[in-house]
Structure 1
Amino acid sequence: MSTSALQVARTGLDAQAERMRIIANNLANVNTTAFQRDRAEFATLAYQMVTAAGARSAGDNQYATGLNLGTGVRLTGTGRITSQGSINTTGNNLDLAIEGEGYFQIQRPDGSTGYSRAGNFHLSSEGKVVTSDGMPVMPEITIPDGAQSITIGQDGTVSVTVSGQTEPQEVGKLELARFVNPAGLQALGNNLYAETGASGTAQTGPANAEGRGAIRQGALEASNVNVVQELVDMIETQRAYEVNSKMIQATDEMLRNANQQL
């Protein structure tokens, strides 16, 4: 008996183990601000053609179906689900949520631009609006010392009220980036994504315009992970792993019996 069945089952074990890792990462980030869940995507490996469909069998007769033997499965990618997470009100002036499409622009330490939907921002010692890791939001926004209130409009306009003044003054404007294929962004960790050839070039501009979402102050976008769905997927993956494991055991027993009989 050929050992190809062992190889096919092994690819199934590897694929299901990788899927379980993706599910585990989704569940681990269920409370991560604006996290977007991943989905495992599979494809069959190359087929071994034994008999071609349509080939002559005898005389004028032809094989109707042919004989093709599969060689297993592989993980082709992780499709990111970019659906909107629920918006939770926090009351913090520097907590921002995006309602609709778009990403905040973050300046990374190497000078490149990262993109994020996590809007839990803070003020640095210099008054700059930064992430929890201290990376500044782009375009750079600086809140003057002594500002009593911060107001951020749906279009990203940042206004502050300074002690001694009755009228608020505008100190900057946040811009959002939009992508043709946001699922093609590369995940970098720390709630950041990087532009890739698959995502397309960032289309930046004011919020609440040209397809970009509106900014909601005093709120944060929650993770779009559905715990119930992930648990169902986990059970399904576990069962598929067990079936492939049993396939290896069954094939091993059949080979052992064949060796004992010969």
Structure 2
Amino acid sequence: MSASAMHVAKTGLNAQQTKMQIIANNLANVNTTGFKRDRANFESLLYQVMRSGGAQTADGTALTSSSTVGTGVRLVSTQKLYSQGSLVSTENSLDLAIDGMGFFQVLMPDGRIGYTRNGAFSRNADGTLTTPSGYVLQPEIQIPDNVTEITIGQNGVVSVMVAGQNDPQEVGQITLANFTNPRGLQPIGETFVIETPASGPPIEGVPYEGGFGKLQQGYLESSNVNVVQQLVDMIETQRAYEVSSKAISATDEMMRHISNNL
């Protein structure tokens, strides 16, 4: 039984180590544009059933509750929490923030479509809108040469003023994607997530319509990590780790006592 207690405590150590890693990653990305914090979800392991509830104890009597012993805890999943981050003004005409639901769609180097809330876009040598890593925004939008002003409406319409012309010229429409279950998306780094069977297929639409958020030009969405809350979680995780460690030490002392005195 003592060995079982040490095993249970060990699962607690592993669980708290995992939670601490998730907290550390959240804090490391506190200044990452468009980052969404992660949360660990744990569940109890199987129970050892000694006697089932309702088992007969004597003639006409039965147990009112079962006799079970837990075997520990394990990580069942991690979730990204897609609450809105603060919008920070940058005064850069190609910086975009989504105020509400939706993701920007970006073509990855491997041909997959990545989804992100990071709207720090720029132009490549061809004038095409790209991410800081050079990945092309989908659908492609090309900004002509000699533009004097770029305007992106809340509905995603991109218009430019070309030198020598008096009227603005519409050059493209930014669309957003959303999912039935955004928490089912798989993070792959660089603030990108990709579609999975759990998320369902992407639902594409125009900003400010059909439940999609509106675009804010000249703004970026900051990380939704609450530093104070993460520090509180860190202290709580550290204390839980210490308790599990003390459980192992206490169990070891009990076993040593038995071996020395019996």
Give a deviation string over 1:174-226, Cα, whole Å, max 9, x none: 00001111111100101111011111110102111111110110000010000
Number of positions where the alignment pairs a residue of Structure 1 with one of Structure 2:
262
Matched residue, 1:118: 118
Q: What letter matches 2:18 in structure 1?
A: E
Matched residue, 1:108: 108
User: What are the ranges of 5 or more consecutive residues in structure 2 without an aligned counterpart?
Assistant: none
Asked whether 1:81 is paired with 2:81, we answer yes
What SS is found at the alignment partner of 1:237? helix
Q: What letter matches 1:64 in structure 2?
A: T
- Aligned equivalents of 2:236 and 2:111: distance in 1? 43
- Aligned equivalents of 1:59 and 1:183: distance in 2? 53
Matched residue, 1:208: 208
Shift of 1:2: 3.5
Give a deviation string over 1:128-181, Cα, whole Å, max 9, x none: 000000000000000001111100001100000001000000000000001111
Matched residue, 1:136: 136
Matched residue, 1:249: 249
- Aligned equivalents of 1:140 and 1:125: distance in 2? 14
Aligned CA-pair RMSD: 0.7
- Aligned equivalents of 2:175 and 2:66: distance in 1? 58
User: What are the ranges of 5 or more consecutive residues in structure 1 without an aligned counterpart?
Assistant: none
- Aligned equivalents of 2:215 and 2:196: distance in 1? 25
Q: What letter matches 1:179 in structure 2?
A: F
Give a deviation string over 1:235-254, Cα, whole Å, max 9, x none: 00000000000000000000
What SS is found at the alignment partner of 1:76? strand
CA contact (8 A) 2:2 2:251 kept: no
Alignment of 1:9-48 (within 5 A): 9-48=9-48
Matched residue, 2:180: 180
Q: What letter matches 1:253 in structure 2?
A: E
Q: What letter matches 2:219 in structure 1?
A: A
Q: If the length of structure 1 is used for normalisation, what is the TM-score?
A: 0.99
Asked whether 1:161 is paired with 2:161, we answer yes
What SS is found at the alignment partner of 1:25? helix
Shift of 1:48: 0.3
Matched residue, 1:152: 152
Q: What letter matches 1:104 in structure 2?
A: F
- Aligned equivalents of 2:33 and 2:119: distance in 1? 8
CA contact (8 A) 2:208 2:214 kept: yes
